[in-house]
Homo-oligomer: A and B are copies of this chain.
């Protein structure tokens, strides 16, 4: 059992700052911390599995294929196949938690 406080993690200066929260055979959990204007560009991996993206703090957009966007506000959860194009952009400073199962 272990415990992490995401607000202790640093924000990115020039690029999103990724902090590995947990990695096991069951899932990988990564905290992305973005300053306003930063983004994790749309990408995908041609492998089995799914991911969730939970917005902990701030506002921005989830990014998908063909320039699709969805609002990404604190309390929003996006679930996608790992093989589907996905990304996110910060409009304010934003903290996001990504969970990937199985881990990649």
A75 with B57: in contact, given A1-B84, A80-B1 (CB under 8 Å)? yes
Residues of A within 8 A of B (CB): 1-7, 21-22, 24, 26-27, 29, 31, 49-50, 52, 54, 56-57, 62, 64, 70, 73-81, 84, 86, 95, 97, 99, 101-102
Copies in the complex: 2
Contacting residue for A27 out of B7, B50, B70, B74, CB 8 A: B50
Chain B residue with the shortest CB-CB distance to A57: B75
How close is A47's CB to chain B, nearest CB, in angstroms?
11
- In the complex, what residue of chain B is closest to A22 when comparing beta carbons? B79
**Interface SS of A by simple majority:** strand
User: Among B29, B62, B76, which residue has its beta carbon within 8 angstroms of that of A52?
Assistant: B29
> A73 to chain B: which residues have CB within 8 Å?
5
Write the nearest CB–CB distance from A84 to chain B, whole angstroms.
6
